[in-house]
């Protein structure tokens, strides 16, 4: 317990949904000295990465500078750096820049792409777990059509116009739908010399249905919407390898493609120094009901990185933003209780539902209690409204809304830009 007259030195690793919410709840609260450490100097709104990747939004629309978020905070400090190790015995965190001591540590480092140790996939497929990766994907997506303008070889042309998305969860479904709408409304106007009847969008899902974690109705609706948009959905399709040119499935099927987008797996982003015995399935850190790392008294983990079993979640909580935000909210209360020597409250996840959008006027929403399902235009409005509420910053909300409005009215996007890598010649 920390004396009420002493500042609790709290370090938060990661400024995602969980880490940011925790810091904001404790901002300017007496008795806390908070340091946020993140490799980026901005918060990233992950649910809209796919819109950056498909030129619907600018990266700045979904990113918010951390220092701006805490300009009026007297007890929150921001440090950029990559965590290289945690020493729980000495209560220190080491980054590539500095060493920090703490009274309590909160690990909120989120998740990263899981390629399941397939080095070819890791080298050639495009993930989308950061703003930078979303921009790289946008560059590749648009550049393929520029390259298609310069080839007379039918096989090369087809390879450039085939796009494969792997993973039929929300990310894969939303990406496939967005690319299909580009094919329908945008690309034929940009590249009138190309025949977009030859463009194929494949969505590969290893299980028997899309949106497998949602209701049967949502899975059926999403499949119907994707097929209406012209996406070729292949269920029970297990990808074996991708060499940069050819996708190979375990049943022997091959697809020639210059762009494979990997949305089929994530794993916890565990910092160095965590005992391997504390790592659970999915590379997540085992925590108890208070989000303490199991067996430790000064270290917590929240969000995607945390593995906590409940009666209703025998395999851990889903790795979604609401879990991280609810855990951060309770942890803020529990840290205040720690200061006062009061008993802590256990965490229990309140599932408020799930949603995914497929395209224009097309979305699915599941509400667990009461059990409700919405599809189509009404679900799409719910999806947009909730995402606008969650985006940080009034200016960001305004730009996202105006971009959406512009796209809806014009059937167009205005961000199809290719930025060449800047090269500075070495001095002689």
Distinct helix (H) and strand (E) counts, the chain:
12, 25
pLDDT in tens, 82-120: 999 999 999 999 999 899 999 999 999 999 999 999 999
Q: What pLDDT score does 421 carry?
A: 56
12 band by pLDDT with thresholds 50, 70 and 90: very high
State yes or no: pLDDT of 420 exceeds 90: no
Q: Are residues 30 and 117 in contact, defined by beta-carbon separation less than 8 angstroms?
A: no
Give me the domains of the chain, ranges plus CATH numbers: 8-113+267-340 (3.50.50.60), 119-264 (3.50.50.100)
Give the integer Cα–Cα distance in Å for 7 and 35: 12
Alpha helices in 162-261 (DSSP H): 170-181, 187-190, 216-228
Per-residue pLDDT of 292-301, as tens digits, reads 999 999 999 9
- 406 Cβ contact list (under 8 Å, min separation 6): 412, 414
Q: Tell me the backbone φ, ψ of residue 291, rounded to 5 degrees.
A: 75, 10
Which of 59, 245, 50 is CA-nearest to residue 144? Answer: 245
Model confidence at 2, pLDDT cuts 50, 70, 90, reads: very low
Cα 218 vs. chain centroid, distance in angstroms? 21
Q: How far apart are CA 361 and CA 358, in angstroms?
A: 8
Q: How much is the pLDDT for 417?
A: 80
Length of the chain: 428
Q: Which two tokens stand for residue 167?
A: 């993973």
- State both tokens at 369: 């209690």
| Structure-block tokens of residue 161 | 């116009």
**For strand 104-107 and strand 299-301, is the pairing parallel, antiparallel, or unpaired?**
parallel
Which of these, 35, 24, 166, 27, lies nearest to 93 by C-alpha position? Answer: 35
Tens digit of each residue's pLDDT (9 = 90 or more) over 177-224:
999 999 999 999 999 999 999 999 999 999 999 999 999 999 999 999
pLDDT at 5: 52
412 pLDDT more than 90: no
H or E stretch at 176: helix 170-181
Strands 239-242 and 372-375: unpaired
In the predicted model, what is the mean pLDDT of residues 118-143? 94
pLDDT of 1 strictly over 80: no
Alpha-carbon torsion (205, 208, 211, 212), positive or negative: negative
pLDDT above 90 (res 6) = no
Quickly count: other Cβ atoms within 10 Å of residue 286's Cβ: 20
Q: Which residues of 143-172 are buried (b: 16+ CB within 10 A; e: fewer)?
A: ebbeebeeeeeeebbbbbbbbbbbbbbbbb
Q: Pick the range with the lowest mean pLDDT from 21-35, 154-168, 407-421.
A: 407-421
Q: What is the DSSP string of 34-68?
A: EEEEESSSEEE-GGGHHHHHTTSS-GGGGEEEHHH
Average pLDDT over the chain reads 93
Residue with structure tokens 């792409």? 113
- pLDDT value, residue 287: 97
Query: Looking at residue 360, what is its pLDDT?
Result: 94
Tens of pLDDT, residues 327-376: 999 999 999 999 999 999 999 999 999 999 999 999 999 999 889 999 99
Which neighbouring-strand residues pair with 355? 365
Reported pTM: 0.92
Average pLDDT of the residues in 386-408:
91
What is the pLDDT, as a whole number, of residue 419?
75
Q: Tell me if residue 306 falls in helix, strand or coil.
A: strand
Res 422 pLDDT > 50:
no
For 137, other C-beta atoms within 10 Å of its C-beta total 21
pLDDT grade, residue 163 (50/70/90)?
very high
Instruction: Classify the C-alpha dihedral 319-323-329-335 as positive or negative.
Output: negative
């Amino acid at each position: 317990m920390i004396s009420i007259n002493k500042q609790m030195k709290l370090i938060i690793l990661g400024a995602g949904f969980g880490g940011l919410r925790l810091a904001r709840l404790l901002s300017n609260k007496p008795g806390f000295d908070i340091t946020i450490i993140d490799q980026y100097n901005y918060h990233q709104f992950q649910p809209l990465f796919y819109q950056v990747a498909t030129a619907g939004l600018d990266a700045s629309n979904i990113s918010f500078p951390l220092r701006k978020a805490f300009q009026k905070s007297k007890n929150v400090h921001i440090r950029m750096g990559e965590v290289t190790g945690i020493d729980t015995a000495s209560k220190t965190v080491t980054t590539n820049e500095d060493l920090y001591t703490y009274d309590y540590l909160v690990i909120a480092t989120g998740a990263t792409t899981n390629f399941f140790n397939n080095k070819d996939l890791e080298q050639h497929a495009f993930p989308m777990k950061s703003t930078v990766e979303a921009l790289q994907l946008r560059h590749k997506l648009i550049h393929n059509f520029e390259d298609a303008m310069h080839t007379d070889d039918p096989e090369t042309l087809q390879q450039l116009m085939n796009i494969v998305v792997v993973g039929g969860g929300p990310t894969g479904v939303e990406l496939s739908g967005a690319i299909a709408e580009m094919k329908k409304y945008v690309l034929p106007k940009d590249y009138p010399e190309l025949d977009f009847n030859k463009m194929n969008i494949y969505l590969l899902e290893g299980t028997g249905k899309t949106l497998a974690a949602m209701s049967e109705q949502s899975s059926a609706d999403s499949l119907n919407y994707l097929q209406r948009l012209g996406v070729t959905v292949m269920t029970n399709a297990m990808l074996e390898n991708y060499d940069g040119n050819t996708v190979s499935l375990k049943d022997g099927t091959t697809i020639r493609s210059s762009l494979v987008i990997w949305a089929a797996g994530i794993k916890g982003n565990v910092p160095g120094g965590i005992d391997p015995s504390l790592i659970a399935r999915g590379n997540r850190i085992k925590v108890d009901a208070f989000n303490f790392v199991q067996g430790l008294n000064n270290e917590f983990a929240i969000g995607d990185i945390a593995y906590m079993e409940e009666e209703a979640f025998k395999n851990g909580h889903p790795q979604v933003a609401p879990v991280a935000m609810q855990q951060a909210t309770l942890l803020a209360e529990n840290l205040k209780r720690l200061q006062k020597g009061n008993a802590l409250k256990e965490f229990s996840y309140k599932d408020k539902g799930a949603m995914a959008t497929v395209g224009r006027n097309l979305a699915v929403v599941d509400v667990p209690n009461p059990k409700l399902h919405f599809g189509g235009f009404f679900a799409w409005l719910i999806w947009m409204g909730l995402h606008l509420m969650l985006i940080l910053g009034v200016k960001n909300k305004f730009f996202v809304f105006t971009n959406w409005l512009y796209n809806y009215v014009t059937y167009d996007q205005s961000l199809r830009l290719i930025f060449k890598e800047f090269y500075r010649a070495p001095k002689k």
